[in-house]
Structure 1
Amino acid sequence: MTDPQNTQENTATDPNNKWDDSEFHPGHQSNWFQQHKLEMGLFAGLLVVLLAVVFWLPKTVHPPAPDQDTFTQANSDASETENSQGAAPVKSQTGPLESPWQDAQIAKARREAQEILAKLLDKQTTLDKMQVDLWAAESFKTASDNAANGDELYRAREFGPALESYQTALQQFEALIEQAEQEFQQAMSDGAQAIIEQQAQDAVDAYTLATAIRPNNEEAKAGLARAQIQDQVIEQLEAAENQVLQSQYQQAKVHIEKALELDSESQLAAAKLKDINQAITEDNFASAMGQGYSYLQQKQYSKAAAEFRKALKIKPGNATAQDAITQASNQLTQNSIQRNLSQAEQYEREEQWQQALASYQAAQQLDSSVVATKIGVLRTRARADLDKKLQNLIDQPLRLADPAVYRSAQQLLADAASVKPRGPRIEQQQQQLQQALNKALDPVAVLLRSDNETNVTLYKVGKLGNFKEHTLELKPGRYTLVGSRNGYRDVREEFTLQPGTNRKTIVIQCDEKIAMGG
């Protein structure tokens, strides 16, 4: 807008000015307006247009909002403007002049918007990698719409509201990233539960979502791998269940083990394997117990006890098995006692007293409280001892030559005569011993022959001297003759006289000379 005072001053001082001072004299003023009326009207119209362009047009015309690249460039230009150390504003080629304050505010708004946009893009990239559309599509769209609304406000140069929209979108993106952790954990939990519930496809879906949120998570990848084989695992589990219904536990175990080969982490398969093993244990236990009772009924007590011990090994500490073992052992003991008693009685009837004593002693070792065994041991021990002594004297009648043994035999014979009940064996032994006693007193004729040069001595009798022949009578027994002669080696002869022998001839003489000198 032009100042009239300045115009007058310029006119007065400018020698090239076309205007003449005379035109402004009072006498000529009206003539001048009349002459320049048209120019003044045009000048006023141009002045109105100029004012409109300067003050009204910038408020009604909005510059187009820049895209991401142009926004970055604008921010850079603003920074350059801010760093120009207070240089005077430059007139835009297409717009009006901007004040430094407005430039600074615009630069600040652009810088803050750019910072938030950078964070928004980073969060958006993170959510895209997490495939947010699979688990929070609507929330993500809402946040994206808020970011787009910020763009609209920014284009309208409403920087405060624009920043608020950007900040809201950023907060929503950050909330979605936090939600991603919850979604991941939920997907992992859902996948694990689906496997437990044998919902193979649900497990695949859940773990697929988990791997979408965290593509590099090893646990999620392992879960997806498990989920993808669950159809095969379920097939084996169902086959095992069918076998269990038919009590075919070993076949069921084979299917369960195949299921665990496919999925070693299957809790359901592990639980079923435990149940099947328990069923097998119960089945084997029942079988062993049943076989044991069957042997009991057949009085095969050793076999019964063996089966009951097998059952106890299957189920250690089982009271039923322990009671059955005790029952079988008791019956086995009673059976053994009865068997030994029966054998002992049979041996007694046969007067085999040593064998009878051994059988009673065997029964007594099994149960010392049985009275029959105690009495049997006492009775058979006495008879066995008498039988042994009688038989020894009968088998060794020469012992009767000893007076002490002879007297003992007489007492033994008297004891045998008082034994009751009596059997043929003791009768025979009594007779044989009596005969041995009788013969033990009958002398035996002995003829000794020598060379009349040998000096003969008979131990237990005395010296017999030198003779050609010598006759004497001796009691049955063992004797020793010794012959000696000067210059000859001594000789020794031992002989036995059995009871009932009629006559015995013995030669005793020294025949071997002893070499003299060298």
Structure 2
Amino acid sequence: MLSDELSDASREVARQRIHTVGYVGVTLGVGLLVLLAVGYLRSSPSDPVAPSVTQSALESSDYSSKRRDQAKDLLKMFALDLEPRFDFANLSEWAPEALDAISSFKEEAVLAFSAGDYNQAIGVIRKAEVIAKETLVQWEENFSENYLASLSHFGNNESDVAGLKIDKALVFKPTDPAALKLRQRIDVLPKVRDLLSEARVAKIENNPRKEYRALSEILGVDPQRTELRSRIRALEAEISEENFNLLIQKGFGAVDDRDLRQARSYLNSALDIYPDRGEGKNLRDKVERLGEEVALETALAEAKQAISRDDWPGALVIFQKAIKSHPDDGYLVDQTMIASKIVSLSKAIAGFVAMHQRLSSRNVFLLAERALKEVSEIADRSSSLSVKSNKLRGFLGEYDRPVDVVVRSDNHTHISVRGVGEVGVVEKKSIRLKPGVYTFEGKRSGFRSRLLNVEIGLYQTSVDVELICNEQI
């Protein structure tokens, strides 16, 4: 609540003021103690024996050294403790005369110190301290006065006066988080006033949606108005109840019209509001039954269209989805099996065609022949499957056709074809091999053995191979 904010702000301002005044008091107290100590040293009784001229000079030198140290400490304390606060306190904006006086006194103190006039340096720097500390106290009071006044006027919805006061407060503390936040809230206060008025009218008109929009917009521009949250929650509950009942009514109407898409939309929206209400469960049962009926009709129509386009993978997906809801439908079971077989064989035939080089392997060749036999039973159902099958038959014919291979050697090297058989020790010999990759091996006693890989192309008519072991061991 704004009254709480005002109370909190007052306590915080008081705390800061006590801190600043306390700081000034402590600093002045420390300075006073230093002066008393110096005075005591100067007035302390001397040795009962009359001092000599030498002793008097020593005491004078010692006193001067102490005054020098005292002046040095005061200048240092001023530079480290007070001067850094001048920029933060923004003195150049609201107290330029005080800042000039402080700077002038400090400069005079530094010059006196440099000239060895330590008493003068101490006196002048203390004047600078007094002005600085009084100015800092005034700085804190000026900020506090204007900030609290602005907060009070803000609570009374007086945006103009509140704005003037917070602007004055920001002159003293331009970066104060609380003041900057209050400035933002004052900027939107006119809009907040209008929205509050709109919300009051909406409440009188019994229009919860309009009232909810106005209050929600207020929180959007001024989130600190937490007192509105309880009313917003009550309005949310009232609006949700109204929305839920309307959605349920429309959902049952859509089921009666067999408009599945609209019925599901109303159901989902209603369940988003109250997922466990009995009305929602009743509507869900009716929508699910309608969905099963429509899904089967739609699936059969879509599958028929897919088959007419020779899109058996698409038809299979449709059948598989439909059979989950109708596992006992005999027609769906049969069509799913046919579609699955056509898709599977089509992939297998396409794989054989794409990698036809593998048909040079006898095992792969036999697998391809077996696939073609299965295709013959259903090829008339898919034109693309027939085309792929015919292409595969062409490849099988080519890979089953032997090619003449002329093997040449030195009549000393024993030659064999791995996985096929022996060629023997020959000078020249013709053999026949089907297309594929073969490894010819040459051996000869006392010579290093040799391996030679030979690829017989699909459409080659003859191949020459020369293999001689001529590297002695």
TM-score (norm 2): 0.44
Whose radius of gyration is greater, 1 or 2?
Answer: 1
Q: Return the structure number with greater relative CO, CA threshold 8 A, min gap 6.
A: 2
TM-score (norm 1): 0.41
